Structure 1
């Protein structure tokens, strides 16, 4: 008959199992987050990581069979290695990417190793929980139910702590190091309090010694992680970093060399202060005129588009919808010289929201309906499924619901030269949503040939012109506007199927263009 002491023993062990399971899921979520932030957050990369992790769980369970005879010692050894490898995984992979520029292979390998270690836990724990019991079918079922409950509950806790606590407060690298510390600490508690009678004196000292060494290594990593991260990050950028921060959504970096200031989001260049005026003027002025009073900017949290709109004499209201509040804060401070304080102008209403969700709420009447004379989709290139929704037929259909009569829309559409299929698919997708379009492109030295699509909800295609009410500009003249609609034979218009939420074809278009360009 089971005693109260043995019940407490098993309760403590199951609690430690839950803690270890939470840490295991944190490691896996960190690998997925790294895949996104290091530029491979596509369906292929995510599928390889998730499928590889699940397969590794099964492999680990089989690989643990020879160790069940020494379940206590084996379990502590696995937790020591798992806590140490999991804790350093994010930092090590960040270093790999900074040195080699490639991360997918290392991410998949790390996933398999961590998954194998996590998978080996269950048969060893099952053996420990069965110690001293009669292995009847009923008893085995109860033990397995308790073990699965602790494991899944721990995974739930880890899944909630990662996005709501760890990632937004300490960042990806520190979060995994902290999870490693918790993992090793839980194993130490198990070794010191629960398994001491199952281990010989020599095995107990060896286990505790190894766990303490792992604990010290992780504490040292935490103490130096800021310097490690700063060094690795700087190696990714040619210019000195003057600002860097992990937000809830992305890695924000600002560099400066002389008078050239550059903004990067997740490693992707957003603009260079040397030539951003070419991009910004070409984006803004084709959609505005002397009758334009209101404007909507989707994205563009750097404040550059708002800066140009505020130069138009009749602009009364601008709504700036930006997902990441940290980008807005950086624009108001570090980048203020570039945007001339546009986001502090009382005519600019700042909304921190997902552009798709915000438009959907407008269409459903969940918020007071608004109409705009000029609309801008100044959004990142759709190189993953999450961003692809902002280049979908459904998205451009939602934009129509906030367009005032006669309103014009401008969409930044990537490079017609480097990613031609993505560019022309954007044009086709906007037309599929009921807009009439006019594609145009300009040369921006930092980016090369860069394209936009001008659209209006009318039967005739809009003209790319510069209104007489526009202020003096550095680049976008009437002559440039006329030439911008001319495309050479090597990037002539293509009629393509629209990109939709169910079939985001534009993601593969982008990646195909990058592969062909050798980027």
Structure 2
């Protein structure tokens, strides 16, 4: 219901007689309702229902945005599609509801029953469309349109009902209705991320919201306005609400089995771990006794593949270690695989891993398949783990509590470090939540944390599939005064089993090595030798990157991100 700016206001009472005894007329909505409670209490109950319905409506919106962002990526685009379609549909619904004002109580009860069913089941239906047909965009627009029309239809009907409880001037009625509407939207907007999503998840949370919506709408009509309903209308609404609640309850009971079936369809039959944290969904497949390679998916995207992770992590870490490396900072990399490569060097004295999701680190410490892959890196006493957003952590004085300025905020004049090597093992820059971790502001913080002669290694996406995004990363690193050496490394072209991943994975990984002074691509002269990366392959990767350079690209900033799919 939120975001409705204009709604039809009931016309002045008409004195025209009905065309037949008992037949509805335009005058009927204006007759005082026969309530079982005083008018003041009745008005309060109507506004309370407005509050609840507004909260439910906003939850439906946020649930569609969140699920679409997870399934299709680019949260900015998904939010724009959902909100713009829903706001348009709400206006359309308000116009269509004008025809129902002569039977406002029955119309509102019917609208709420349908809205509860459609909104409550929207997440499950959208997920099913994505998993089994791969066509989620059409479903997203369709549900946004349907839910918006139903939400928009609420306001004219509630306006009519509240005027029937007690007449007042139109401006006062609108003010009361919108106040309850927007406060309800606030509660729904806060309940979704802080209560429903962490406690129930997207599917069950939407179903519970639908049940609350049905109960609130049905109770208002069937109890408060029951004397205005014919016996047939009353029983029709009772049956409709019972059916809706039964369907929502059945869907909630089937949700665990549905999620298991959907995950098997997406990730294959060998899922060992599937957990939803406050940050993301984590899925582990393979890596068990059957000998299948381990795969780690974060929010449906393949982040680690046991088939070729060694090539990736050696290419990311070892060129940066060709210099001082006593203190190393790993941003991201909670799986422990980058730390594994760093710890192969005896000269390393400390490794700080900054990971936003503590559950990833817990799995990297305890899961047999993942610990075998990372060689129990977290058992090494040189490793320190910090659970934090990498950007926010770099802004703090020492990565912990740190000193604070006089205004109570973090003291930004000092940075953690200095570090001889900084490894950015982060999700691809094309993912909207990662955009700030590939921004000019972020690399400025990293540059301040580098020791004299220190090196920065950045995973910059794939050069072959998204060259513009790759060279934007490189330009952004250079924009903070660092000198760069871009390079690319080929990968195992095993088919991608990430959601919707019928196509082959990109052919390569793209990296950027950087420092305050000019840097040359090479491997350390002493210490462990990479098992999959040779000096010749590294030099060839540098030449290939130089051949494909796209000059003149602007840096990406927080206010003007430039990584587009």
Cα deviation, residue 469, structure 1: 3.2
Q: 1:342: which partner in 2?
A: 377
Paired residue secondary structure (1:401): helix
| Structure ID, larger Rg | 2
Q: 2:139: which partner in 1?
A: 106
The alpha-carbon distance between structure 1 residues 40 and 287, as it changes in their structure 2 partners (threshold 3 A), is closer
1:456 and 1:222 map into 2 onto residues whose CA distance is 54
Residues 363-409 of structure 1: CA deviation (Å, up to 9, x unaligned):
96368732111001111112244321111112111111111111100
Task: Map residues 112-511 of structure 1 onto 2, 5 A cutoff.
Answer: 112-134=145-167, 139-238=169-268, 240-256=270-286, 258-289=291-322, 291-334=324-367, 335-362=370-397, 365=411, 369-446=416-493, 447-458=506-517, 460=518, 462-487=519-544, 491-506=548-563, 508=564, 511=565
2:395–2:415 CA contact under 8 A, matched in 1: no
Deviates more, 1:46-55 or 1:112-121: 46-55
Cα deviation, residue 140, structure 1: 2.5
Paired residue secondary structure (1:408): strand
Q: 1:11: which partner in 2?
A: 44
1:283 and 1:204 map into 2 onto residues whose CA distance is 68
Deviates more, 1:49-58 or 1:66-75: 49-58
Q: 2:89: which partner in 1?
A: 56
Deviates more, 1:168-177 or 1:324-333: 324-333
Task: Map residues 34-49 of structure 1 onto 2, 5 A cutoff.
Answer: 34-49=67-82
Cα deviation, residue 147, structure 1: 1.3
Deviates more, 1:165-174 or 1:353-362: 353-362
The alpha-carbon distance between structure 1 residues 142 and 488, as it changes in their structure 2 partners (threshold 3 A), is closer
1:244–1:253 CA contact under 8 A, matched in 2: yes
1:409 and 1:16 map into 2 onto residues whose CA distance is 56
2:415–2:448 CA contact under 8 A, matched in 1: no
Cα deviation, residue 275, structure 1: 1.6
Q: 1:515: which partner in 2?
A: none
Q: 2:11: which partner in 1?
A: none
Cα deviation, residue 340, structure 1: 2.1
Deviates more, 1:207-216 or 1:338-347: 338-347
Residues 465-500 of structure 1: CA deviation (Å, up to 9, x unaligned):
111333243112333333331217873453422122
Paired residue secondary structure (1:502): coil
Paired residue secondary structure (1:351): strand
2:42 and 2:467 map into 1 onto residues whose CA distance is 64
2:547 and 2:455 map into 1 onto residues whose CA distance is 28
2:430 and 2:225 map into 1 onto residues whose CA distance is 50
Residues 152-203 of structure 1: CA deviation (Å, up to 9, x unaligned):
1111111111111111122111110111111111123213321211211221
1:45–1:104 CA contact under 8 A, matched in 2: no
Paired residue secondary structure (2:543): coil
1:207 and 1:198 map into 2 onto residues whose CA distance is 13
The alpha-carbon distance between structure 1 residues 106 and 362, as it changes in their structure 2 partners (threshold 3 A), is farther
Residues 353-372 of structure 1: CA deviation (Å, up to 9, x unaligned):
21112222349636873211
Cα deviation, residue 233, structure 1: 2.0
2:418–2:450 CA contact under 8 A, matched in 1: yes
User: Which consecutive residues of structure 1, in runs of 5 or more, have no partner in the other structure?
Assistant: 512-519
1:419 and 1:368 map into 2 onto residues whose CA distance is 33
2:39–2:166 CA contact under 8 A, matched in 1: no
1:19–1:186 CA contact under 8 A, matched in 2: yes
Calculate the aligned-residue CA RMSD, in Å.
2.1
1:99 and 1:505 map into 2 onto residues whose CA distance is 33
Cα deviation, residue 439, structure 1: 0.6
Cα deviation, residue 39, structure 1: 2.1
Residues 130-155 of structure 1: CA deviation (Å, up to 9, x unaligned):
11544x5xx33222222111111111
1:362–1:402 CA contact under 8 A, matched in 2: no
Q: 2:500: which partner in 1?
A: none
Cα deviation, residue 350, structure 1: 1.5
Q: Whose helix proportion is higher, 1 or 2? A: 1
1:52 and 1:345 map into 2 onto residues whose CA distance is 52
1:40–1:104 CA contact under 8 A, matched in 2: no
Paired residue secondary structure (2:267): coil
> What TM-score results when the alignment is normalised by the length of structure 1?
0.92
2:324–2:454 CA contact under 8 A, matched in 1: no
Residues 230-277 of structure 1: CA deviation (Å, up to 9, x unaligned):
111221224622211222222211111733110111221112112211
